[in-house]
Amino acid sequence: MSKHTFTHLDALESESIHIMREVAAECKNPALLFSGGKDSIVMLRLAEKAFRPCKFPFPLVHIDTEHNFPEVIEARDKLAADLGERLIVRSLEDSIKRGTIVIKDPDLPRNPFQSVTLLETIAEFGFDACMGGARRDEEKARAKERIFSFRDEFGQWDPKNQRPELWDIYNTRVHAEENIRVFPISNWTEMDIWEYISRENLYIPSIYYAHEREVIRRGGSVIPVSHLVQPKPGEQVEVVSVRFRTVGDMTCTAPVESTAKNAREIIEETAMTRITERGATRMDDQTSDASMELRKKEGYF
Amino acid sequence: MTTQTQLLRFITAGSVDDGKSTLIGRLLHDSKSIFEDQFSAIAKTSEKRGMAAVDLSLLTDGLQAEREQGITIDVAYRYFATPKRKFIIGDTPGHEQYTRNMVTAASTANLTVILIDARKGVLTQTRRHTYLASLVGVPHIVLAVNKMDMVEYSQARFDEIVVEYRAFAAQLDLHDITCIPMSALVGDMVVDRGDNMNWYQGPTLMEKLENVSIAHDVNTRDFRFPVQWVCRPQTGEYHDFRGFMGRIEAGQITVGDEVTILPAGRSTRVKEIVTYDGNLPTAYAPQSVTLTLADEIDISRGDMMVKSDAMPHVSQDFSAMMCWLSESPLDRNRKYIIKHNTRVVKCKFASVDYRVDVNTLEQQANPVVNMNDIAHVTLKTQKPLVFDAYSRNRATGSFIVIDEATNNTVAAGMIS
């Protein structure tokens, strides 16, 4: 008999494939949320592993803040096209035009409003399950979230009223108007994601790798200069070698200083790093110790 | 065959007072899994609360409501890694009313750490946690005798506790128990050995977690393949492709093996084991694969493929140990839904045979089943299930019960 090794990545991969197949089989109209970020790119590969040689039994959906880095949008469109899968894009701008999102300043961070457009998109297409690439290691509030997480008709998450999740038997049943968020990579860590990107040789947006960028230093963070973020009087623009650990809203996603040019070097850096992914890069989660939890209750992924 | 998995799932059971959060904090801290921003956040909070040293237990406080109450109320999952293994910790509370949370977290665990306070010794909750671990079939137990610093690191006290604990555990179906004296507060025998208990020769907690053999925690003998999804592309080169997708829940399968599809009972041979990364000659639990078969047989989701030389039970009637999870008690006049592997069927409860007092292990004749109760029940399903006894196969002996009216998961069952 041949020697057979089953690594932690194999175990995580098999679990995620199993979850995606359960969603496809039991939910009537699922969708896969796909942003072009690294976690959702891992989700795409897992979906390929789960369903090929068939087509995906769900479309890809992106809720676009229009504050995204152009490299990420490019990657989103390229990957969806290469796979030949259907990509649905809905923009916060549409919600703003409809008047369902009212913002004071178009240049301020838009993550808090993403849930509005997401819920409108869910209603438009009648999705009963949305798969997302959130991980439990990202934030304390996520550590307690189930893999199948229920939302009431207002899209709200109640941390005290979650269904117990036993073995690998998932209860996917919902009433009309309710829906589920499913997190197939709940048990993956940032390190697992990078190891998988390296193992599978996945294409990810170039801004995840070290590059020279104009930045300003504001409140302890390194902030990229863009058409949305300009230096204030007295702030100095520097050119620094940086990479992004997450790629969200351009106005509140900070890069880290780095010289890692490929996934292997990022794994080495990640092994050494002493700051959490969200702590380093998401200014909106730093407002208070519980800000992610508050956003989740309001319907954020 | 050696199946080396480097992923270990374990849970911690014990109350806040036993220093459980401190133990987890200590594991994370001493294995260098705590990040600077996390550490500075809890250092700030510790200072605000007037503590002399950084309170490592703050690391595992999850949600806002709990932080306000200062207690842990649900199951939270934590992740850390050493060069040998990746770990997933299911952090469960020790309060009596949360039996269901421990059962939930234990259902996927390879190992349970049962925490006791060396000053208090074996308590009712220790017995409860140990019984629940055996009920849910967690393969490995570590008894962590914590707060040894409070009993002057006394070997006599440790030995006394171990004797009492082993006498109790001998009544249960537990095969691997390791007792470790430690101080999570000081750090002795968690990751580092420390200098305070040189009389102890066994492994530290971390050594046990890194080295416990888990290759046989899944059933490696009886091939079980619940069909999740049928793939029929009906295009181009795949015009005639019919792939049966699923996860191998137990055993292994090789191209050419004879398989029987249950409950219908027809047999054929495996033609190919298809994966995205190419076809395999042999596949093992818990791999997710796609199988094609030599003959065209009508197979759909909910069917189970098995090897013809290791047959499971096929029946509409069975009995099970059950943990009731819902605030509404079991109503024997109602029908419920069972999800067992990929099969979803209606069921009714023919009888509640007895309840188990989780504190004394006594069987009580009582037909009322409330939240957190453990009961032995007899069920009848509308259609046959394909199953094994839970003690033989966790994957095919477990099921959940769903209330059709609320869609809530109301019970966890383990087939006798």
**Are both B203 and B257 inside the same structural domain?**
no
SS3 B405: coil
Range of the domain at B385: 313-415
The answer to whether position B353 is within a domain reads yes
CA distance A166 to A23: 16
> Is the pLDDT confidence value at A3 over 60?
no
In this structure, the answer to whether residues B335 and B237 fall within a common structural domain is no
Cβ of residue B35 closer than 8 Å to a chain A Cβ:
yes
pLDDT higher than threshold 50 for residue B63:
no
Q: Which of B342, B340, B341, B246 is nearest to B292 (CA)?
A: B246
Instruction: Note whether residue B216 is domain-resident.
Output: no
Q: Does residue B219 fall inside a structural domain?
A: no
Number of separate domains in chain B:
3
Measured between beta carbons, the chain B residues lying within 8 angstroms of A140 are 61-63
Structural domain contains residue B254: yes
The C-alpha angle with vertex A273 and arms to A268 and A276, in degrees rounded to 5, equals 125
User: In the prediction, which pLDDT does A103 show?
Assistant: 80
* Window 391-410 of B, Cβ < 8 Å to A: 394-395, 398-400, 402, 407-409
Interface test with A, best of B24, B67, B88 (most A CBs within 10 A): B88
Residues B114 and B259 in one domain: no
Closest-CA residue of B relative to A172 is B407
Rounded to an integer, the average pLDDT of A52-63 is 96
Are B349 and B383 contained in the same domain?
Answer: yes
* Euclidean distance between CA atoms A8 and B7, whole angstroms: 5
Choose from A26, A44, A135, A169 for mutation: most chain B CBs within 10 A: A169
Cβ separation of A13 and B288 shorter than 8 Å?
yes
Spell out which residues of chain A touch residue B67, defining contact as CB-CB under 8 Å: 289-290
The pTM of this model reads 0.91
Contact at CB, B81 and A290, closer than 8 angstroms: no
B399: pLDDT strictly greater than 50:
yes
> Of B58, B257, B276, B339, which to mutate for an interface test with A (greatest number of A Cβ within 10 Å)?
B276
Instruction: Mark whether B229 and B118 lie in a shared domain.
Output: no
CB A8 to CB B86 under 8 A?
A: yes
My answer on whether B377 and B398 are in the same domain is: yes
Band (A96; pLDDT cuts 50, 70, 90) = confident
B168 is a domain residue:
yes
HSE of B373 in the Cβ direction (CA atoms, 13 Å)? 22
Contact at CB, B231 and A54, closer than 8 angstroms: yes
More confident residue, B2 or A269: A269
pLDDT over 70 at A132, yes or no: yes
Do B147 and B162 reside in the same domain of the chain?
Answer: yes
Same domain, B342 and B379: yes
pLDDT at residue B215, rounded to an integer: 80
For A186-222, the pLDDT digits (tens) are 999 988 999 999 999 999 999 999 999 999 988 778 8
DSSP state of B141: E
Residue B355 belongs to a domain: yes
What is the model's pLDDT at position B77?
86
B11 against B99, higher pLDDT: B11
Best A162, A166, A171, A178 member to test B by mutation, with max B CBs in 10 Å, is: A166
Task: Mark whether B99 and B232 lie in a shared domain.
Answer: no
pLDDT tens-digit readout, B159-193: 999 999 999 999 998 989 999 999 999 999 999 99
> What chain A residue is nearest to B83 in terms of C-alpha separation?
A271
What gap in Å lies between CA A161 and CA B327, rounded to an integer?
11
Q: Tell me whether residues A166 and B229 touch, CB distance under 8 A.
A: no
Tokens of A182: 């499913």
Beta strand pairing status for B258-262 and B224-231? unpaired
| C-alpha closest to that of A68 among A285, A229, A278, A250 | A250
Distance from the Cα of A158 to chain B's closest Cα (Å) equals: 11
CA A68 to chain centre: 13
Q: Min CA distance, B406 vs chain A (Å)?
A: 8
Assign residue B322 the CATH number of its domain. Answer: 2.40.30.10
Euclidean distance between CA atoms B323 and B135, whole angstroms = 10
- With CB atoms and an 8 Å threshold, state whether B288 touches A50: yes
Q: Radius of gyration over alpha carbons of chain B, in Å? A: 24
ipTM score assigned to the predicted complex: 0.92
* Angle ∠(A154,A158,A159) on CA atoms, nearest 5: 155
Residue B43 is assigned to a structural domain of this protein = yes
pLDDT tier at B46 (50, 70, 90 boundaries)?
confident
> Domain ends where: B307, B336, B370?
B307
Per-residue pLDDT tens digits for B312-335: 999 999 999 999 999 899 999 999
Helix, strand, or coil (residue A124): helix
Average pLDDT of chain A to the nearest whole number:
86
Q: Does B163 touch chain A (CB under 8 A)?
A: no
Can you read off the two tokens belonging to residue A268?
């080495």
Domain finish residue from B307, B331, B349: B307
Q: Do B243 and A53 touch (CB under 8 A)?
A: yes
Averaged over B223-233, what is the pLDDT? 96
B76 shares its domain with B166: yes
Q: Tell whether B262 and B361 lie within a shared domain.
A: no
Among B187, B211, B235, identify where a domain stops: B211
B302 and B323 both lie in a single domain: no
pLDDT range class, residue A153, cuts 50, 70, 90: confident
Strands B258-262 and B304-307: antiparallel
- For residue B93, is pLDDT > 70? no
Token pair 């943990």: residue: B323
Please give, rounded to a whole number of angstroms, the shortest distance from the CA of B266 to a CA of chain A. 23
Residue B218 resides in a domain:
no
Predicted confidence at residue A281, as pLDDT, reads 57
State yes or no: pLDDT of B384 exceeds 50: yes
**pLDDT tens digits, one per residue of B102-150:** 899 999 999 999 999 999 999 988 998 999 999 999 999 999 999 999 9
Q: How confident is the model at residue B61 (pLDDT cuts 50, 70, 90)?
A: low
